[in-house]
Structure 1
Amino acid sequence: MKEKRGQGRAQGKNLWSGFLFGLGMIAFIDEAVFHQLLHWHHFYDKSTTEVGLISDGLFHAFSWFATIGGLFMFADLRRKGSLWMKRWVGGVFLGAGLFQLYDGIIQHKVMRIHQIRYVENVIVYDIVWNVFALVLAGIGLYLAAATRKHS
């Protein structure tokens, strides 16, 4: 079966729109819950509290830019009649999971710019954080693979 003109682009745009939205959403939840409500850490904990708060503000802005960018793409897809909800949701899960995995491995362990929580037995938090990220990313990969070919 021949692919309709622009269909491949719409598939990619659905995935990327969901990916940006998912990334922004999970980053926003992280910042609101762990940074603001629970006070477990700041985005950058290797300096003063003031620098930590500034870094939280920049992180918050980043999460909103990603979320809004994803929603603008979503609105464009919907307007053009190209929205493929299952693929978009796959992108949401993939974006959320990969961002959380990046945060848990690169930012927490490799760069050490902050930890999930400053406690003696942080490994429990690390395992829960990264397993949850893998579950989200796995759901996203499954949905993305299941929607690769549009019938």
Structure 2
Amino acid sequence: MTTERERRFTPPVEERSSRRTSTRSVFWTGIVLGIGIMAFLDETLLHQLLQWHTFYWNTDQHGRILSDGLFHAFSTLLLLWGALRLWRSRDTWTSPSRNAIVAAILIGAGGFNLYDGIVQHAILHFHLVNELVCSSPASSRDTVLGICRNDVPYEVAFDLIALVVLSTGIVWWRRASNAAMS
């Protein structure tokens, strides 16, 4: 038997289910946008403007440009997909959802950069943060990706920034989720 107080403060099942679906939609839209935004910024700043690295550096110039082009296409598709998801759900999200989308974008962006730093840089050795401080593999087979000591400070800073962005997103997501539930 439910009391009057429980009936007043407990939303109906369909409202709770709708809220969960909306929360998932906000979360995944933010994740897609965050990855797309961070990949786009990485491509624009580190690859094109600073020219610190290419997506896959252990190949010839044609392969480097091709790998960067594919990476750029990937980031553009994610941005378009995220924007479409955002546009399609614009009327169904509430004010707390708008705060949550920023948090989810930060989670996606920080998570992507952390993945990039750990998996692509440290494990798979696709590229370094700043290849300019190391010998080019095209001119010297003595340089193995991941052994360039000059790049270590860049790698550490890259991963720390990713952790800060990811952690900030998680904290903001929890706050937004708590605000939505109250």
* TM-score, structure 2 as length reference: 0.78
Show the 5 A alignment for 1:59-74: 59-74=71-86
Aligned mate of 1:113, from 126, 129, 137: 126
For the 8 Å contact 1:10–1:82, the answer to whether it is kept is no
Structure 1 partner of 2:42 = 30
Aligned residue pairs, count: 151
Query: Is 1:87 equivalent to 2:100 in the alignment?
Result: yes
Aligned mate of 2:174, from 142, 145, 151: 145
**How far apart, in 2, do the equivalents of 1:102 and 1:6 lie?**
32
Query: Is 1:75 equivalent to 2:91 in the alignment?
Result: no
The amino acid across from 1:114 in the alignment is H
- Indicate the SS of the match to 1:6: helix
How big is each residue's C-alpha offset from its partner over 1:105-146, in whole Å with a ceiling of 9 and x where there is no partner? 110110001001122521110111011000000011111112
Structure 2 partner of 1:41 = 53
**How far apart, in 1, do the equivalents of 2:104 and 2:73 lie?**
21
**How far apart, in 1, do the equivalents of 2:104 and 2:25 lie?**
10
- Indicate the SS of the match to 2:89: helix
In the alignment, structure 2 segments of 5+ residues that lack a partner are: 1-9, 134-148
Which structure is richer in relative contact order (CA contacts within 8 A, separation 6 or more)? 1
How far off is 1:104 after superposition?
A: 0.7
The amino acid across from 1:117 in the alignment is N
**How far apart, in 2, do the equivalents of 1:13 and 1:114 lie?**
33
How big is each residue's C-alpha offset from its partner over 1:38-87, in whole Å with a ceiling of 9 and x where there is no partner? 11111011111111111111101111111111111111221334561111
Query: Is 1:58 equivalent to 2:58 in the alignment?
Result: no
Runs of 4+ displaced beyond 4 Å: none
Structure having the higher Rg: 2
**How far apart, in 1, do the equivalents of 2:39 and 2:90 lie?**
25
**How far apart, in 2, do the equivalents of 1:99 and 1:78 lie?**
25
Aligned-residue Cα RMSD (Å) equals 1.4
In the alignment, structure 1 segments of 5+ residues that lack a partner are: none
The amino acid across from 2:84 in the alignment is F
**How far apart, in 2, do the equivalents of 1:81 and 1:108 lie?**
37
**How far apart, in 1, do the equivalents of 2:150 and 2:64 lie?**
23
Q: Percent identity?
A: 32
Query: Is 1:132 equivalent to 2:144 in the alignment?
Result: no
How big is each residue's C-alpha offset from its partner over 1:3-35, in whole Å with a ceiling of 9 and x where there is no partner? 514111111111111111111001001001111
